[in-house]
Structure 1
Amino acid sequence: MSEWKRKRFWKEVGVAPVDEGFTVELDGRRVKTPAKAALVVPTRGMAEAIAAEWAAQEDEIDPRSMPFTRSANAAIDKVRAQFDEVAEIVAAYGDTDLLCYRADFPQGLIDRQTAEWDPVLDWAETALGVRLRAHSGVIHRAQDASALARLAAQVRALSAFQLAAFHDLVTLSGSLVLGFAAARGWRAPEEIWRLSRLDEAWQEAQWGVDEEARQMAETKKADFMHAKRFFDLS
């Protein structure tokens, strides 16, 4: 990451159309990724978001303040180069989906999971053509192979930029179905994130809030919201 630790050397930041999309220019010179690939993104909106991050840098470049740039770099340098591997990792969440592993005690939590998670599985049956089976307990129970294959095909249909964001939507929520629900706008991303935290919220209501865990959850929520914005701009 040494290439990030440098002073700002440019005065003007611009967005320019290129053959495969849009790029960002610093004093007329095109930005490259850490792997020295051309930073070309699919939409003007994404390029403008990246350009705004570069324009906001002051004396020293701070990559922590540049989430769109980092996500675009990941899409180009990592996801595009290892698309099949990333798609396989993400699709595998369908067989261990958070929404399918239900509590067997207490009844209040069982009822809440049923009321809040079943509608997402209902949506997936219509929108994704797949009905995943829910069960009590944490022991793994394999889902139907044909259902998983249909979900995997929809993951592979994403572009590299979409998959970079979708990877985070799924891994942060622990659910392939919630990832699709966020990507396809089933409900507001804040509501989908809340559904992914149902068990944690129940524990907090019973035993109180652990401040360190709460801060970690807020960081993950911010990352989830960013992933949704990046997906939409893809």
Structure 2
Amino acid sequence: MFRGLVRFPSRLWGPALSLGKDCSKGPLAPLPITRSAHSAATSERRKFYEDVSISQGEGGLYEINLDRRKLKTPGGKLFTVPNEALAIAVATEWDAQRDTLKFYTMHLTTLCNTAIDNPTQRDKDQMINAALKFLETDTICYRVDEPPGLVELMNNEWEPVLRWIEKRYDVVIGSSSSILGPEIPESTKETFRQHLNSYNFWSLTGLEYVITQLKSVVLSFGLIDRRLTVEQAVLLSRLEEEYQIQRWGNVEWAHDYDMYELRARTAAGALFLYLSSETSTVKRKLLQD
């Protein structure tokens, strides 16, 4: 059960825990960073704790406690987040686990691990450059000449979003049916660079994750700016695939699974960005049910 104990004085890094014989003392230690450890971290494990809580530690950072033992990252660092709102969201992921821990469902925890450990040792400029690379190959900037039905669908569904972002940020992006895609002006890249630079490192981690899922800077900004819902952004990112499925059919369970997974990851990335930007403290405690 999750209890809020609030005391006032870029490669994604999934959850990884080493469960020794004595689970009653000391912090939760990470698994060694090896291929086998990574595989173990993404599998299911028997749940080993009863209570989940949050507490405020040094520097005003928030910690996650499993039966009052402090959670650590795969890199061995103390798992700390910058505000109470994000701590509550992560704690909720752990509290939602039942008999087994399904680490692959814990997207917020994974994003926090990535931001804390920064396994690829990137700085903000490198993250921004990586995000801007997606602009050059943005999903909705690549169009087709045929079949007519798909051309019409792309124009009807993608063009309004593209026109919106060009107006919203006063930039030129355009689209192309060439394999090379449109030529993005340097002024557009600079405008987006300045906008991305306004995000902190944690928020950039979330935004980059959303961009990676949607394969689109345009759709990601549409989602973050609340122009699009998660469902709309995901559907637009899969527009061509959905068209082909409607035309030729699909393996229903596989399609549904992929769709739900993409929605979950995209929603988690957007939520992580919002919560990472949160500066106010949640004024209430979560009490034990």
Q: TM-score category by the smaller chain?
A: 0.7 to 0.9
Aligned equivalent of 1:131 = 172
Aligned equivalent of 1:208 = 249
Q: For 1:181 and 1:215, how far apart are their aligned partners in 2?
A: 24
The number of residues matched between the two structures is: 234
The alignment's C-alpha RMSD in Å is 2.6
Identity %: 27
Pick the structure with more helix per residue: 1
C-alpha deviation, 1:147, in angstroms: 0.6
**Residues 1:4 and 2:50 aligned together:** no
SS at match of 2:53: strand
**Residues 1:175 and 2:216 aligned together:** yes
Deviations 1:9-61 (A, max 9, x none): 65543212342542223344432211122322233121012112333456665
SS at match of 1:36: coil
Q: For 2:49 and 2:256, how far apart are their aligned partners in 1?
A: 39
Q: For 2:212 and 2:169, how far apart are their aligned partners in 1?
A: 19
C-alpha deviation, 1:110, in angstroms: 1.4
Aligned pairs for 1:151-190 within 5 A: 151-190=192-231
Q: For 1:226 and 1:146, how far apart are their aligned partners in 2?
A: 31
> What amino acid does structure 2 have at the position aligned with 1:37?
K
Aligned equivalent of 2:87 = 47
Which consecutive residues of structure 1, in runs of 5 or more, have no partner in the other structure?
A: none
Deviations 1:43-88 (A, max 9, x none): 3121012112333456665422422211110121127941332321
Contact 1:15 1:47 in 2 (8 A): yes
Which consecutive residues of structure 2, in runs of 5 or more, have no partner in the other structure?
A: 1-13, 20-45, 277-289
Contact 1:162 1:231 in 2 (8 A): yes
Aligned pairs for 1:63-142 within 5 A: 63-78=103-118, 81-83=121-123, 84-142=125-183
Question: TM-score normalized by structure 1?
Answer: 0.86
Q: For 2:98 and 2:255, how far apart are their aligned partners in 1?
A: 32
* Larger relative contact order (Cα-Cα within 8 Å, sequence gap ≥ 6): 2
Q: For 2:194 and 2:208, how far apart are their aligned partners in 1?
A: 15
Q: Quick one: structure 1 residues 203 and 155, their matched pair in 2 at CA, closer, same or farther if it must change by over 3 Å?
A: same
Q: For 2:165 and 2:80, how far apart are their aligned partners in 1?
A: 33
> What amino acid does structure 1 have at the position aligned with 2:52?
V
**Residues 1:220 and 2:220 aligned together:** no
User: Bigger CA drift: 120-129 or 184-193?
Assistant: 120-129
Contact 2:131 2:211 in 1 (8 A): yes
Q: Quick one: structure 1 residues 52 and 214, their matched pair in 2 at CA, closer, same or farther if it must change by over 3 Å?
A: closer
Aligned equivalent of 2:66 = 26
Question: Rg bigger for which structure?
Answer: 2
**Residues 1:229 and 2:277 aligned together:** no
Question: TM-score normalized by structure 2?
Answer: 0.71
Contact 1:169 1:182 in 2 (8 A): no
